[in-house]
Structure formats: structure tokens, C-alpha cells
Amino acid sequence: MNFLETALGSIKLDNPLIIASGVLGTTAEGIKLLYEKGAGAVVTKTTTLSSKPGYANPTVVSTPSGLLNSMGLPNPGIEEMSREVASACCEGVPVIGSVAGSSISEFIEVAKRFEDVGVIGVELNISCPHERVGLIGQDCRLTYQVVKSVKDSVKIPVIVKLTPNVTNIVEIALEAVKAGADALTAINTVKGMVIDVNTGYPILSNKFGGLSGPAIKPIAVRCVYEIYASEVKVPIIGVGGISNWRDALEFLMAGACAVQIGTSLMKGYQVIEKIKKGLTGYMKKNKLKKLNQIIGISHKRC
Amino acid sequence: MHTPRVCKILKVESEAENIKTIYFKDRRTSSRIIPGQFIMVWIPGLDEIPMGVSHTGLNSELAITVEAVGEATEKLCSLKEGDVIGVRGPYGRGFSPPGLNNLIIGGGTGMAPLMPLIELCVREKINVNVLLGGRSLNKTPFIKKLRDIFNPKLECFKVTTEDGSYGCRGFVTDLLDEIISKNSFDRIYACGPELMLKKIYDYCTEKKLPLEVSLERYIKCGIGICGSCYIGSYRVCADGPVFKIAELEKIRNILGEWTRDSSGRLIQL
């Protein structure tokens, strides 16, 4: 019996562990391997219409309990990415296409091309803290416009990835849902900076980057909890600092139907199976049959 | 942990035309590094690039050997004693420990990550044969260093240059048949231009020889999470950069044919 089945609206997943965007989902073989290693679904690297080289190195630097990155959305463009993704989709891998663009028409075009090759949904990246697209997710009107336009152009589910770099994440979440979002991903990375004190240079070539890893988990859990407690009734995917099954469980209890992992893959692919095993063990021990029995239970505890 | 540690440059040696060897100290790297592993070298304000370590000495002394081929490597080559670089690592999987009889094949600066392995063999008195290929005498690094290490009477060090200005005229791969027919090797290690590696791979596959090669791809994070250095389903920075012959079987159609640029686009080699 599979204790870990979950659903994001019409998307059914074998297990709730999704590989977050920006992490390894760049090629067909990379995506297939992540699925073989046990992921419930894989989100691609964020893709734009034309190729983008990304920022110069250093693009990654570690901090206590976290990783700061500023890749600059490098991707080969939708033409080449859709070929890679098509190959994974053909073999039955559940792929979610991460979409960005510098105009509404670019968002629409990229989303449609992903739809054409058989992805199970698209995730709109309006929240990257080191790219201009991140500004969309900090503005209610722009969020509405982008989500509505994509929603009107594709039939597959549209997931919207939210940024924590706002005063009130619920306000943006509501706007995305009003525009038709089928699910929300919370959260993208937290904007930060690291300076080398020996030389005075900011380490990342782009100066600012997005913080991920255990350092941001409490922020992410709070965001998921706040959205779940609001009038938003679409499924939430929790992400931010998950590195073991207890972390994943925490997000489920806060109200997430599924979770994404990224930074913790640094320790190896086996983290995927370890989390699944831990969650299954927890379900058995507590005589639970379905993840639904734990999703959002923290809201009933106060 | 994955933060550059700033190190002072102790010494810069001219290795060949446009090729410099830069010495510095980093205890974390020197105490952990296995020959074949790499470090990320930060040039403050400009770039960060993956580099093989070309020397591991006493008191945490290390060196990298750099050929000026682009903006970052030109800047590195212009640095002087007392200037600073940042390093993080060591990263990736290095070479297996040497066997009883070893063959090491390097092409140009591709010899760099193999140098610590040669140093190790010489130090431990393990049998090692070295083939070094280059374009010409002036453009080939490590000739003097290797000549100093090896006893010329033992004939275990051979050089080829494309123009014949030193050693045999031609490519290192021209010498494979001769050296392999006369010896039985427990390990063959190679690093250099991918077309050279592909030739060596094909040769060793046919003869069922225990080859390991070090590969190069566009590396960004260095820690196996960003997906920029895929070759097939391998991440060069984390699963490599050293691959064994059985692993190369899976990527034999890519080897020497395709690489990816900074955006991840496929580029014909």
C-alpha cells in the first residue's frame, strides 16, 4: 500500500517529493535520473524563450545553514529545453515546466511549448530574487496579469511560485488564485548577500542572491501556514530548507499537499528515498492511511 | 564550507608560453585532496573557475597551472606574488590509487591534475610511465619538471609535440601501441583535450584496459546541484571529474562529440 500518494488538484502524484526548480532539472537524462531516484515529480530549470547564459561565477556561496545563489536563470531556451523535456515525458516522467519571461507574451509562449511536449503542469517563476521576473511576484496587479494570461492560454494546471520577499504573502497568493492559479508553491529563495571581509568584495558576481537551505525553513513554514489559513483554497506546495522527513512533515502539517527539495540534494540523491522512508514509517507508526490525514493539522491544534 | 578562502600567492612560475604555475597555501584543500579532485578558484570581482591542482607539497603548499585562454585565465596568469585568490573545495571524485604499474597520459595543461599523481608515485617509488603531448616545446607545460623527476635512463617519460620541436613528432596517442604492447598496466590515467581522450578510450575499450579519465565541462556550483555540467546523467563536478572506463561506456556517444555552454545549450566539440 502506498501511504504517500497525494494530489495537487487534478495532478496525481505517487509521492509528495518534487524536485524544485533550478536544481539539476536541466537535461532529459538528468530529469529521468531524479525520477528513478524516487522523486514524485521534477520541476525543470526555469526556461525562457531564448537561451540565457546566466551570471558570471561565483554564482553560489554557502552561509551557515544555507546556500546563497545567483545563477541568473541560465537555460538553453524553450526550443532546446522542450526537446529535453519531451524525451523525459515520453518515458512517463511527471515533469513540471518552470516558466519565466520578460513579457506576458513570453510567459504564454514558453508555457504553451511546455504544454505541447506533455508536461503535467507549469510553474510560473515570478519570484526569483536575483532576476527582474522576481518583481512580478512582489506586485499584486502584475501577478494577476501574468497568471491570468497564462491561464487563458493553456489547459494544463498552472502553479504559481511565490516569493517571501514581500510584506504580505497572502495578498499575492490571493491575487494569483483570483487569476486562476491551480496551485501555489511557497517559497522561492530569500534575498541576501555575502561579502568577503578579506577583500571587501561581494562574493556573488550579481552581488545579491537567493538564500535556500535550513536557514529559511521557519520562514517557509510560516508562509505555507499563513496561506493555508487564508481564503486561498488551492493546493500548496511547500518548499524551503527540507532536508529530512521531519522537515517534510512540518510542511504537510502547516498545510502543504506536496513539498519540493533542492539544496539538500547537495548531500546526494539518496535524500529522496530517505525522506520517503521516514514519512512512510511515520504514517505506519501512527496508523495513518493517507497524507490528507496530516495535511494542515497544525491549524486544528490552536 | 562552500565559501572561498582567501589565499596569498606565494610564487608564480612561467611553465610555458602563456602558461603559469601559481603557488599558494590552503590547509583545508591540502589536508583532504585526492589527486584528480578540483578546486573552485575565485578571482575577486571577475570570475570563479574550476581548476585541477597541479602540485601538493609540504606545509599545505599547493599549485594550479593555468593557460591564458580567456578573461579569467588571463587575469590569473597576470597575478604576482602577494596578490590574492579565493579557493573552495576540494570537490568531485579523484583518481583511484595507483596500482603496481601505471601509465599516465596528459595532453597540454591536461597534465595538471595528473601531476600530483606522478609526485605520489615517485615519492612512494611506484612504477609510473608518463606520456606528455603538446603543440611545441615552448607551448608544452611540465617538460622540465618531469625531466627533473625522472631518471632519463629509465625511459619512462616520453614527450610528443605536433611540430616535432621536442620529443617525437605527432600525438601522444601515436605512442599507445608501442608502450602498451611492451608493458602490462594496472592503471591508465588520462587527461587532456576530449578528442585525445576519446581516442584513448576507444583504444582501451578494444584492448580491455583499466582506464580512468578526467573530463571537463562548464562548472558553476561545483557541488552537484545546479545541473550545468551534465554529461549524460553524470554531473562532472560531483560524479566526476574522473570517470572509469565502465562509466564512460554510458556516455561514449557524447564523449568527444558534444559539450554544453553556460546556458546549457548543446555545442558540437
Which H/E stretch holds residue A185?
Answer: strand A183-186
Cβ contact (<8 Å) for A60 and B86? Answer: no
What mean pLDDT is predicted for residues B68-82?
A: 96
Q: In the predicted model, what is the mean pLDDT of chain B?
A: 95
Residue B137: alpha-carbon gap to chain centroid? 19
Cβ atoms of A283 and A15 closer than 8 Å: no
Q: Supply the pLDDT for residue B19.
A: 97
Question: For chain B, where are the E strands, in sequence order?
Answer: 5-16, 19-25, 38-43, 47-56, 61-67, 84-91, 101-107, 127-134, 157-161, 168-169, 187-191, 211-214, 230-231, 234-235, 242-244, 258-260, 266-268
pLDDT band of B210, cuts 50, 70, 90: very high
What mean pLDDT is predicted for residues B76-83?
A: 97
- The CATH number given to B5-91 is 2.40.30.10
Alpha helices (H) in A37-167, listed in sequence order: 78-90, 104-116, 140-151
pLDDT band of B153, cuts 50, 70, 90: low
The CA distance from A175 to B139, in Å, is 62
| Sign of the C-alpha dihedral computed for residues A21, A27, A30 and A31 taken in this order | positive
What mean pLDDT is predicted for residues A29-58?
A: 97
Q: Supply the pLDDT for residue B149.
A: 86
Q: Supply the pLDDT for residue B155.
A: 62
The CA distance from B207 to B188, in Å, is 12
Cβ contact (<8 Å) for A26 and B47? Answer: no
| Sign of the C-alpha dihedral computed for residues B88, B93, B99 and B101 taken in this order | negative
Name the CATH superfamily for A6-301: Aldolase class I (3.20.20.70)
Burial A82-100 (b: 16+ CB within 10 A, else e): bebbbbbbeeebbbbbbbb
Q: Supply the pLDDT for residue A124.
A: 98
| Sign of the C-alpha dihedral computed for residues B148, B153, B158 and B162 taken in this order | positive
Residue numbers in A near B3 (CB within 8 A): 61-63, 194, 203
What mean pLDDT is predicted for residues A140-154?
A: 97
Would you give the end-to-end CA distance of chain A in angstroms?
32
Residue A227: alpha-carbon gap to chain centroid? 16
Per residue in A91-119, pLDDT (tens digit) is: 999 999 999 999 999 999 999 999 999 99
Q: Supply the pLDDT for residue A141.
A: 96
Min Cα distance B90 → chain A (Å) is 15
Residue numbers in A near B228 (CB within 8 A): 26, 74
> CA neighbours within 13 Å on the CB side: how many for B9?
21
Q: Supply the pLDDT for residue B26.
A: 97
Cell of A216: 529559511
Comparing CA positions, the residue from B128, B121, B94 lying closest to residue B244 is: B94
- A257: annotated active-site residue: no
Query: Residue B77 above 90 pLDDT?
Result: yes
Query: Which pTM does this prediction carry?
Result: 0.95
What mean pLDDT is predicted for residues B6-11?
A: 97
Cβ atoms of A114 and A157 closer than 8 Å: no
The CA distance from A214 to A135, in Å, is 25
Q: Hey, where are the domains in chain B?
A: 5-91, 101-214
Minimum mean pLDDT among A55-64, A199-208, B122-131, B151-160: which range? B151-160
The CA distance from B63 to B54, in Å, is 5
Per residue in A157-201, pLDDT (tens digit) is: 999 999 999 999 999 999 999 999 999 999 999 999 999 999 999
Comparing CA positions, the residue from A188, A132, A140 lying closest to residue A161 is: A188
Paired with B23 in beta bridges are B11, B63
Parallel, antiparallel or unpaired: strands B127-134 and B157-161: parallel
Q: Supply the pLDDT for residue B152.
A: 65
Query: Residue A133 above 90 pLDDT?
Result: no
What fold, for B101-214?
Rossmann fold (3.40.50)
Can you tell me which residue has the cell 576540494? B90
The CA distance from B253 to B249, in Å, is 9
How long is chain B? 269
Q: Supply the pLDDT for residue B239.
A: 97
Query: Residue B253 above 90 pLDDT?
Result: yes
Question: Pick from A54, A63, A199: which is nearest to B44 by CB?
Answer: A199
Residue numbers in B near A23 (CB within 8 A): 225-227
Q: In B, what residues contact A, Cβ < 8 A?
A: 1-4, 6, 40, 42, 44-49, 84, 86, 220-228, 230, 232-233, 235, 260-266
Question: What is the ipTM metric for this complex?
Answer: 0.93
